[in-house]
Amino acid sequence: MAVTVPLAQLPQSLGPFEAVEAAYPAELTAIAEAVQRGLPVLIECDKGLAPFLWRCVRDRLKSAGVQSVYLNGRPDPTAQAGPMAAGIVATMIGQLRDAVRGATQQQVIVIPHLDLLTTSQGGLTAEAREVVPLLYENPNLVWIGFKDPSMALPKVIESLFPRRVAILGIGRDRLRHVITEREARKFGREFNPYALYTFVSGQHAARLRKILPAVTGEDFPSDPRPAYDQLRQATQSSEAAVPNIDLDRDIGGYAQVKSRLRTEILDLLQERAKLDDPEAITRIEQLIPRGMIFWGPPGTGKTLFAKAMATALGAAVTVISGPELKSRWVGESEERIRQIFVQARQAAPAIIVFDELDSFATARGTYTGSGVEHSMVNQLLTEMDGFRRNEMVFVIGTTNFPESLDPALLRPGRFEFQLHVPFPDANDRRAILSVYNEKLSLMLTDDAMEYAVRRTAGVVEGGTSRFSGDHLQALARSIARRRIREQSTGATDIADVEHALTAHLDLPRLTPTEERVVATHEAGHAICALHCEHAPPIERISIRGDLAGALGFVQYGDQAHKYVTTRNQLIDHICILFGGREAEALLLSDLSIGSGQDYERATGVARGLIEQLAMGADARVWPDSEGRHPEREPSEPTKQRIEQEVRELLESQRRRANALLVEHRAEVEALRDVLLERKVLDRASMTAVLAAQHR
- For residues 183 and 5, give the distance between their C-alpha atoms in angstroms, rounded to a whole number: 13
| Overall pTM surpassing 0.95 (yes/no) | no
Q: Is residue 16 one of the residues assigned to a domain?
A: no
Q: Are residues 432 and 379 in the same domain?
A: no
Q: Is residue 245 one of the residues assigned to a domain?
A: no
Q: Are residues 341 and 478 in the same domain?
A: no
**pLDDT-derived band at 565, boundaries 50, 70, 90:** confident
Q: Is the pLDDT of residue 243 over 70?
A: yes
Q: Are residues 284 and 397 in the same domain?
A: yes
Mean per-residue pLDDT, 282-295:
88
> pLDDT digits over 45-61, tens only?
998 999 999 999 999 99
Q: What are the phi and psi torsion angles at 141 (to 5°)? A: -95, 140
Q: Are residues 431 and 413 in the same domain?
A: no
**pLDDT-derived band at 144, boundaries 50, 70, 90:** very high
Q: Is the pLDDT of residue 662 over 90?
A: yes
**pLDDT-derived band at 82, boundaries 50, 70, 90:** very low
Mean per-residue pLDDT, 117-127:
63
Identify the pLDDT of residue 81: 47
Q: Is residue 538 one of the residues assigned to a domain?
A: yes
Q: Is residue 632 one of the residues assigned to a domain?
A: yes
Q: Which residues contact 41 (CB under 8 A, 6 or more apart)?
A: 31, 34, 35, 143, 144, 145, 161, 163, 164, 165
Q: Are residues 228 and 320 in the same domain?
A: no
Q: Are residues 672 and 628 in the same domain?
A: yes
Q: Is residue 490 one of the residues assigned to a domain?
A: yes
Q: Are residues 303 and 332 in the same domain?
A: yes
- Percent residues over pLDDT 70 in the chain: 89
**Around 573, how many Cα atoms within 13 Å sit in the side-chain half-sphere?**
17
Tell me how long the chain is: 695
> pLDDT digits over 208-237, tens only?
999 999 999 999 998 898 998 898 888 877
Q: Which residues contact 633 (CB under 8 A, 6 or more apart)?
A: 623
Q: Which of 522, 539, 611, 667 is catalytic?
A: 522
Q: Are residues 46 and 117 in the same domain?
A: yes
* Cβ–Cβ under 8 Å, residues 528 and 660: yes
Mean per-residue pLDDT, 104-126:
74
Identify the pLDDT of residue 278: 86
CA proximity to 553, closest of 569, 575, 529: 529
CA proximity to 672, closest of 461, 458, 515, 545: 515
> pLDDT digits over 308-320, tens only?
999 998 888 988 8
CATH of the domain at 530: 1.20.58.760
> pLDDT digits over 397-440, tens only?
999 888 888 787 887 778 889 999 999 999 999 999 999 999 99
* Cβ–Cβ under 8 Å, residues 73 and 115: no
Q: Are residues 467 and 484 in the same domain?
A: yes
Q: Are residues 517 and 489 in the same domain?
A: no
Question: How many domains, the chain?
Answer: 5
Q: Which of 391, 420, 449 is the last residue of a domain?
A: 420
- For residues 406 and 422, give the distance between their C-alpha atoms in angstroms, rounded to a whole number: 22
Identify the pLDDT of residue 627: 47
Q: Is residue 469 one of the residues assigned to a domain?
A: yes
Q: Is residue 679 one of the residues assigned to a domain?
A: yes
Q: Is the pLDDT of residue 103 over 80?
A: no
Q: Is the pLDDT of residue 510 over 70?
A: yes
Highest average pLDDT, of 17-26, 145-154, 490-499, comes from: 17-26
Q: Which of 275-284, 338-347, 551-560, 562-571 has the lowest mean pLDDT?
A: 551-560
Q: Is the pLDDT of residue 44 over 90?
A: yes
Q: Are residues 130 and 264 in the same domain?
A: no
Q: Is the pLDDT of residue 664 over 70?
A: yes
Identify the pLDDT of residue 190: 86
Q: Which of 167, 188, 207 is the last residue of a domain?
A: 167
Mean per-residue pLDDT, 547-567:
74
Q: Is the pLDDT of residue 79 over 80?
A: no
Phi-psi region at 202: left, alpha or beta (left = phi > 0; alpha = psi -120 to 50): alpha
* Domain around 53: 25-167
Q: Which of 117, 134, 167 is the last residue of a domain?
A: 167
Adjacent-strand bridge partners of 362: 405
Q: Is the pLDDT of residue 503 over 90?
A: no
**pLDDT-derived band at 86, boundaries 50, 70, 90:** low
Is 663 among the residues known to form the active site? no
- For residues 624 and 606, give the distance between their C-alpha atoms in angstroms, rounded to a whole number: 13
| Average confidence score pLDDT of the chain | 85
Q: What is the 3-state secondary structure (H, E, C) of 492-535?
A: ECHHHHHHHHHCCCCCCCCCHHHHHHHHHHHHHHHHHHHCCCCC
Q: Are residues 391 and 441 in the same domain?
A: no
Residue 480 DSSP SS3? helix
The DSSP code for 47 is: T
Q: Is residue 638 one of the residues assigned to a domain?
A: yes
Q: What are the phi and psi torsion angles at 355 (to 5°)? A: -75, 135
CATH of the domain at 353: 3.40.50.300
- For residues 437 and 500, give the distance between their C-alpha atoms in angstroms, rounded to a whole number: 14
Identify the pLDDT of residue 85: 46
